[in-house]
């Protein structure tokens, strides 16, 4: 596991909004200037402020990197077993064929024009576990691959899992 202070993301912003936009743009997962992105930003800033009020000060960028890397708002506390706590993969990376992915993100990842029809999407949840993209390789190229067995992409492409490189 990469130490949180070694993530290769340099932040130059000074306000919470600037830092959030820089980090979210770097890791992907949402369109930062859409209404959904603004709602997510406000929620994550509120989660940070709640954590700080209860636990003490930590720089926002460190807290946000923790959220991206570990998937919990409880900075410094690892979940007991992340796989069995309701997710598989990176929580910031929903598959573009998942109902958890907003339409803007789906269009961006699949390189669709605003007028192109969106593909069929499916809920990537099974038995209370949400399946996201995880880091994987296809030959010598690394990217993010879908972890959900019932992904519509797999069904359309002879069982090949979706991978975004």
pLDDT in tens, 102-155: 888 888 888 999 899 999 899 988 888 888 888 887 778 788 888 888 888 876
CA-to-CA distance for 133 and 105, rounded, in angstroms? Answer: 13
Q: What is the mean pLDDT of the chain?
A: 79
Are 121 and 138 in the same domain? yes
Are 17 and 53 in the same domain? yes
Q: What would the two tokens of residue 144 be?
A: 């993010």
User: Which residues, 6 or more positions from 153, have their beta carbon under 8 angstroms from its beta carbon?
Assistant: 95, 97, 119, 146, 160, 161, 162
- 87, 134 contact by CB (below 8 A): no
- 11, 5 contact by CB (below 8 A): no
Higher pLDDT, 13 or 113: 113
Q: What would the two tokens of residue 20 be?
A: 């959030």
Is the per-residue pLDDT at 60 higher than 60?
yes
Are 17 and 52 in the same domain? yes
Number of domain units in the chain: 2
Higher pLDDT, 41 or 163: 41
Evaluate whether residue 72 is within a structural domain.
yes
Evaluate whether residue 29 is within a structural domain.
yes
Are 70 and 97 in the same domain? no
Strands 133-138 and 129-131: unpaired
CA-to-CA distance for 35 and 1, rounded, in angstroms? Answer: 33
Are 67 and 132 in the same domain? no
Q: Which domain holds residue 96?
A: 84-164
Are 108 and 145 in the same domain? yes
Are 95 and 137 in the same domain? yes
Evaluate whether residue 3 is within a structural domain.
no
Are 69 and 120 in the same domain? no
Higher pLDDT, 164 or 63: 63
pLDDT digits (tens, 9 = 90+) for 71-90: 777 777 765 554 445 677 77
C-beta neighbour count of 41 within 10 angstroms: 18
Evaluate whether residue 1 is within a structural domain.
no
């Amino acid at each position: 596991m990469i130490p949180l202070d070694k993530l290769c993301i340099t932040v130059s912003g000074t306000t919470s909004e600037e830092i959030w936009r820089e980090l979210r743009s770097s890791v992907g997962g949402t369109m930062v200037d859409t209404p959904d992105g603004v709602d997510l930003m406000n929620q994550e800033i509120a989660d940070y402020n709640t954590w700080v009020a209860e636990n003490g000060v930590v720089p926002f960028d460190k807290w946000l990197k923790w959220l991206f890397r570990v998937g919990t708002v409880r900075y410094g506390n690892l979940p007991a077993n992340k796989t069995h706590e309701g997710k598989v993969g990176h929580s910031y990376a929903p598959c573009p064929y998942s109902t958890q992915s907003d339409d803007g993100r789906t269009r961006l990842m699949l390189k669709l024009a605003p007028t192109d029809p969106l593909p069929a999407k499916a809920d990537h949840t099974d038995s209370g576990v949400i399946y996201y993209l995880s880091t994987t390789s296809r030959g010598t190229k690394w990217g993010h691959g879908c972890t959900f067995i019932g992904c519509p992409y797999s069904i359309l492409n002879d069982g090949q899992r979706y991978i975004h490189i």
